[in-house]
Every structure is written in structure tokens, then in C-alpha cells.
Amino acid sequence: MNTRICELLGIKYPVFQGGMAWIANASLAGAVSESGGLGIIAGGNAPKEVVKKEIRKIKAMTNKPFAVNIMLLSPFAEEIVDLVCEEKVPIVTTGAGNPSKYMKRFKENSIKVIPVVPSVALGLRMEKIGADAVIVEGMEAGGHIGKLTTISLVPQVADALSIPVIAAGGIGDGRGMAAVFMLGADGVQIGTRFLVAKECTVHENYKQKIIQARDIDTVVTCQHFGHPVRALKNKLTREYDQLEKLELKQENPDLKKFEELGQGALYKAVVEGDMDSGSVMAGQIAGLVKKEETAEEIIHSLIEETTEVIKGQYQKYL
């Protein structure tokens, strides 16, 4: 399954692993890259030295291409930009901001740049400043989300741009992967399913929460205040819901309350395994994920299923 993005990045399969903060470290990213996909180390809010250690680890694990995700709102964003240039990281993905002021440096260091975009307008803007591809993420995804769905957004961005489009959000098996290919995508980015990869070091409680999830078990918090986040329902999401209802009645809502409630919530879930007060970020496809597998098994099953689905659907109409 060789698409434009495979040729561009030198990867075997058009499968990106999501750059999930606190989760996407060298253990997971290295396994994905070694299995033919694009493993991504999450910069998140981590300082330079922490991310540097992960980069050194993945270089020791594989000689295959990998990426670092830079969250541009991070207080350490400038440091991470310096780091990826110093370490000659081949690919960066960016989120939560506009990477335009760093593009010259990325290009001078032969780094491929792939921003996450939630709209056609931002996709066009990224193409204009020299992005090599874009990740189009629909609201079905876990974590911070936009307002458009993957199925409506991907074809519009694919029609508007000439660079490769990577679809993200709501993709968990070969059927989803085949569907976004039909919509014009050149590859997929998957987060939730890789959460339960054997090489993923997230707390076991988090993995079990994903595996036990039903189709209706995710909810979006902070839809009116702050940044909307999709996560699995728990005590924290209920507290967010109650707080939002109270603040909607106020003439001057106190946004600090939302920040305080979410302080350290992702760490609680990922590291401590707190499934009540932690933010258990997951996409709407959590209900499709039923078992723990290796990264290699996940990627191979995705490719096999996608091939079977595409062949089968075409044969239906011959």
C-alpha cells in the first residue's frame, strides 16, 4: 500500500501513530516506525531534555523514519524546535498553533513539516507557507478537537490542497482506513487503537478502560469554555459538565475554574491510572478496540483489512 505520503517520508505503510501527550514516547513510536508506519514522539509540555532522551532512545531502537510532535502552545516550544534541528529529526508534526515562524529553520535542516489542521482555510495557509503535508483531524478524535467531522472535512481539504492529506479522528480499523482513502486521504493517523499497543507504556487501568468502552462512552467537555476535549466518561467529565452549567448562568464566567479542574488530569490518568479524576482521552472508535496487540499486529491488520475492504467493495459493483 504505497501512497504519496509513503514516497515523501520513506515509510512502508501510510499509517501515522498519534502524537499523544504523556503517551507517545520512544517505546511506542519506535515500535510503530520499526513496523513500517510513522512513529511520533509527543513533545507535549515536556522540556527539551526530556524530549531529547526520547529521541536518543528511538534512534537506538530503529533506523526507520520517525517524527516529533511539537505543541506550539507549550512554554518549551522554542526549545523543542531547537532540539529537532540539532538532532536532525526527519519529520515534525505540529499542533495548537501556527508553525510559520519556524518554517525557514525546518527547511534549512531538511525537516518535513506536517501540521494538524481543523479546516480548509488553515490547510491552504499551511500549504502556502511550505508544509509538506497536513493532518486533517475531525471531532471524532480523542483529546483536543475541532467542530467538523472527519468524513465531511477530509474531502473538502483534499479537493482544496495539492499536498498529501492524512486523515485523523474516528479511524480504528481497515473499514475506516478504506473509507478515508475513498474521501481523498493519502494516509491515516491513529491514536486510540495504539493506546492499547503492548509497547505503549500508559497505565494498565487506562488500557482496560479503552478495551471496555462502548460506542457511547466518550463525551466532549468544555464545549462553551476553554478548549473542547473528548474523553471517556468518568467523575472528572461529570464535574466539568456541572461546572459548565453553573458558569453558563453567570454574567462573568470564571475560566480559571476550568483550568484548575483540569490541572494535571492527563498525568493522573496516564501515569497514576486514576480513572475517576484523570482525563482519559480517547476517540469515538474506543468501542471498536477489544484487545491489546503489538504495534506490528495493529499495523498489519489495518493494512490487510483495508485491502480486503477496498477489493470487496469494488467487486460488489462489477
> Are residues 271 and 203 in contact, defined by beta-carbon separation less than 8 angstroms?
yes
Question: What proportion of the chain, given as a percentage, has pLDDT over 90?
Answer: 83
Where are the chain's structural domains? 7-201+289-316, 214-281
| 294's grid cell | 503489538
Distance CA 309, CA 304 (A): 9
Report which secondary-structure segment, H or E, holds 66: strand 66-71
d(C-alpha 74, C-alpha 90), whole Å: 21
d(CA 198, CA 180): 26
Q: What's the average model confidence in pLDDT over 6-20?
A: 96
User: How confident is the model over 84-97, as pLDDT tens digits?
Assistant: 999 999 999 998 88
pLDDT tens sequence across 253-269: 888 888 888 889 999 99
Best CA proximity match to 55, nearest among 72, 45, 69: 69
- Tell me the β-bridge partners of 203: none
pLDDT band at 227 (very low <50, low <70, confident <90, very high): confident
* Segment (H or E) for 244: helix 235-248
| 17 and 30 Cβ atoms separated by less than 8 Å | no
Query: For residue 309, what are the contacts with CB-CB under 8 A and spacing of at least 6?
Result: 174, 175, 178
Would you place residue 315 in the very low, low, confident or very high pLDDT band (cuts 50, 70, 90)? low
How far is 112 from 93, CA to CA, in rounded Å?
Answer: 8
CATH of domain 7-201+289-316: 3.20.20.70
Average the pLDDT over 209-213 and give the result: 97
Mean pLDDT throughout 298-311?
A: 93
Burial 97-132 (b: 16+ CB within 10 A, else e): bebeebbeebeebebbbbbbbbebebbebbbeeebb
pTM score, two decimals?
A: 0.91
Taking alpha carbons only, the member of 119, 184, 151, 157 closest to residue 284 is: 151
Q: CA 206 to CA 23: how far, in whole Å?
A: 11
